[in-house]
Amino acid sequence: MCTVTYSPSSQGGILTSNRDEQGGRNTLAPQKYTPENLIYPKDIQSNGSWIVLSKTRWVCLLNGGFQNHTPKPNYNVSRGVIVMKSIKSGNLREFCQSIDLTETQPFTLLMNDFKGDDFLEMVWDGEKKHLRYLDQKDSYIWSSSTLYNDEMKAERKKWFRDFFDTKKKNASHLLEFHQTHFTENSEYDLLMKRPNGIQTVSISQIVTSAQNSNFYYLDRQENSETKIAFFDEK
């Protein structure tokens, strides 16, 4: 997993993520967990998550670094643990510099302090951390290297550009993009499905603004929706 896009909005930003995972993998819909004060869907098998929202920050993880890798027999640190550590950390830059990833499988971690200025991409390739500072006013698309090669990634970037040639990058259009079929080849379509059972099982969207943050979740296996506002609106 996954396919992730980010786009700015007039009041904040919009993160949208397709989770490409083994069909039937048990996952709880997002809810607000206390006392951590975090909103996230929970993967039952790993007891963790790939996308988390706090009062001032969101974090989203994609499996794999720059290229697909051959997994080792065992890893002592789950990537989901890294997600939770990053959402709870103080300074993101210090977190990226200090965390030890030697026993962790390669990943790409996106972190946005939307109440501040830090928007970071950290790629762990299994040997070295690569940190890139992103612009909250720009748009981006990422695809997991464990599922998509460079040619597939390039075509998906073109779909992203072409789709929004005539459409505004708002929350509804971004959800539409993430649910659109662009090719007859389901191996790397945005709504993907492969013979081994890996498929797009859910879509998450976080919309931030100065007043509130909202988490939308579409479970494509259960055909159900969940909507949560970080601050209860009365």
Q: What is the pLDDT of residues 138-150, one digit of tens each?
A: 999 999 999 999 9
The correct answer on CATH 3.60.60.10 for the domain covering 3-229 is yes
Nearby residues of 201 by Cβ (< 8 Å), 6 or more positions away: 19, 20, 21, 23, 25, 27, 219, 220, 221
What pLDDT does residue 233 have?
A: 58
Mean pLDDT, rounded, of the chain:
93
What pLDDT does residue 39 have?
A: 98
Q: Distance between CA atoms of 56 and 54, rounded to whole angstroms? A: 5
Maximum distance among all Cα pairs of the chain, rounded to whole angstroms:
51
**Does the pLDDT at position 78 exceed 90?**
no
**Does the pLDDT at position 1 exceed 80?**
no
Q: By C-alpha distance, which of 1, 7, 40, 3 is closest to 226?
A: 40
The values of phi and psi at residue 43, to 5°, are -80, 120
Least confident of 95-99, 115-119, 206-210, 214-218: 115-119
SS3 of residue 108 by DSSP = strand
